[in-house]
Amino acid sequence: MDAQIRIDKTSESPVYRQIIEQITRAIRGGTLKPGDKLPTERELAEQLGVARGTVKRAYDELSRSQFLESIPGRGSFISVKQDVAPPGRKERALNLIGAMVDSLRELRFSYREIRTLVELGILERERAFAELSIAVVDCNPETLAVFRKQLNFLTHMPLTLFLLDDLTLAGDADTRLGPFDLVLTTARHYTEVLGMAPKHREKIIQVALSPSQDTIIALATVKPGRNMGIICESPQFRDIILNKLRDLMIDDGVDVLRYTELDRFPSFISDKDIVIVPPSWKNPEGREAQGALMDFMSRGGQWIVFDYQVERGSILYVEERVRDLLTP
């Protein structure tokens, strides 16, 4: 762990609270990142010269607040579930807003007038966003669903999803992608999409996707020999999951259930120790299916969502391209 914790035993703040505050401060400052492993309770207690129960109390509270994720046999990790925006970013935003307000006050605008001007500016930006349109192309519906979920900053833009096979079979990708301002696709299919729509080279962007840290941590805890199953909509997403399991050397004898076969869901999970599903998964309805799922969970079955994320660098680049389109 890069962050150093120092305890002030003369402070009125309880020791466990000092540990919590310093870990959360390190997360906010970027010193500790999602996936970073913390010392064990015993190690940190010895390092700080405090009781192990004090460290346990701090870790338990951090876990309840979703700052940490504790994995039996592996340790405690910084979780990607925590929603902590770096204070530097917030502070810069507040400083910019403060400077803008001060400048407008010098021009003798009242606070009410400033609020109205800001709201008008936001409305104008939203209208400009609504006039842009973006296409997303990929080989499987699961990844397209990830794009729709992850690119939430494009809320005010029409986002149209295309399956790669549909464009290939239609043979008119140049025409169908023509009306869009930007076309996003994964790095895996960039060359293929470019070959189908060469006229639109300048607006085709390759976007990097990778499994989330929570997914990687969950898969890393799987022991060889466990009875695993994959539930998915497309064979392409099945292959993505299998490739990752192969990297981790836990891909032996993995069964697969397609969405078109969900009538077999109860029997499929009846002998499974671990089931992996895409982020778009929704539990099937019906008493038998719900009962099978409850039985699976009650006997200690592990349900892993194979969650993909658009990498931050790709999001920043798309945002930059969008800003360029909005700039006169």
Could you tell me the CATH number of the domain that includes residue 263? Answer: 3.40.50.300
Is 141 found in the same domain as 205?
Answer: yes
Task: Collect all residues with Cβ–Cβ distance below 8 Å to 182 and sequence separation of at least 6.
Answer: 132, 134, 135, 203, 205, 318, 321, 322, 325
Is 186 found in the same domain as 54?
Answer: no
Whether 104 is covered by a domain: the verdict is yes
Is 246 found in the same domain as 290?
Answer: yes
**Nearest by Cα to 278 from 222, 207, 209, 211:** 211
Whether 8 is covered by a domain: the verdict is no
Is 283 found in the same domain as 202?
Answer: no
Tracing tokens 């029409």 back to the chain, one arrives at: 158
CA distances from 215 to 75, 79, 228, 303 (A): 16, 11, 15, 11
pTM for this entry: 0.59
Q: What is the pLDDT of residue 85?
A: 45
Whether 223 is covered by a domain: the verdict is yes
**Nearest by Cα to 210 from 310, 297, 76, 121:** 310
What is the span of the domain harbouring residue 222?
213-306
Spatial distance between the Cα atoms of 157 and 127, rounded to a whole number of angstroms: 9
Q: What is the pLDDT of residue 46?
A: 92
Instruction: Classify burial at 91, counting beta carbons within 10 Å of its beta carbon; exposed 0-12, middle 13-18, buried 19 or more.
Output: exposed
68 phi/psi in degrees, rounded to 5: -120, 155
SS3 content of the chain, % helix, strand, coil (to 5): 55, 15, 30
Q: What is the pLDDT of residue 189?
A: 93
Spatial distance between the Cα atoms of 111 and 113, rounded to a whole number of angstroms: 5
Spatial distance between the Cα atoms of 150 and 148, rounded to a whole number of angstroms: 6
Is 272 found in the same domain as 160?
Answer: no
Is 316 found in the same domain as 173?
Answer: yes
Whether 236 is covered by a domain: the verdict is yes
Four-CA torsion 162, 164, 169, 173, nearest 10 degrees: 60
Whether 2 is covered by a domain: the verdict is no
What DSSP character marks residue 69? E
Whether 185 is covered by a domain: the verdict is yes
CA distances from 156 to 123, 125, 263, 322, 323 (A): 11, 10, 38, 12, 14
Domain count of the chain? 4
Task: Collect all residues with Cβ–Cβ distance below 8 Å to 6 and sequence separation of at least 6.
Answer: 22
Is 285 found in the same domain as 234?
Answer: yes
Q: Six-digit token pair at 321?
A: 């391209």
Coil, helix or strand for 307? coil
**Nearest by Cα to 118 from 93, 91, 87:** 93
Whether 1 is covered by a domain: the verdict is no
Is 198 found in the same domain as 184?
Answer: yes
What DSSP character marks residue 227? -
Is 180 found in the same domain as 317?
Answer: yes
Is 233 found in the same domain as 302?
Answer: yes
Q: What is the pLDDT of residues 293-313, one digit of tens each?
A: 999 999 889 999 998 888 877
Per-residue pLDDT of the chain (328 residues; tens, 9 = 90+): 556 888 888 877 788 888 988 888 787 777 888 778 899 999 999 999 999 999 998 898 888 777 888 776 678 888 765 544 444 567 778 878 888 988 898 899 998 999 999 988 887 777 766 678 899 999 999 999 888 877 765 556 678 999 999 999 988 898 999 999 999 999 889 999 999 999 999 999 998 888 887 888 888 888 888 899 999 999 999 999 999 888 888 888 899 999 999 999 999 999 999 999 998 888 878 889 889 999 999 988 999 999 888 887 788 788 888 878 877 6
Whether 74 is covered by a domain: the verdict is yes
Is 93 found in the same domain as 38?
Answer: no
Task: Collect all residues with Cβ–Cβ distance below 8 Å to 166 and sequence separation of at least 6.
Answer: none
**Nearest by Cα to 44 from 84, 67, 25, 16:** 16
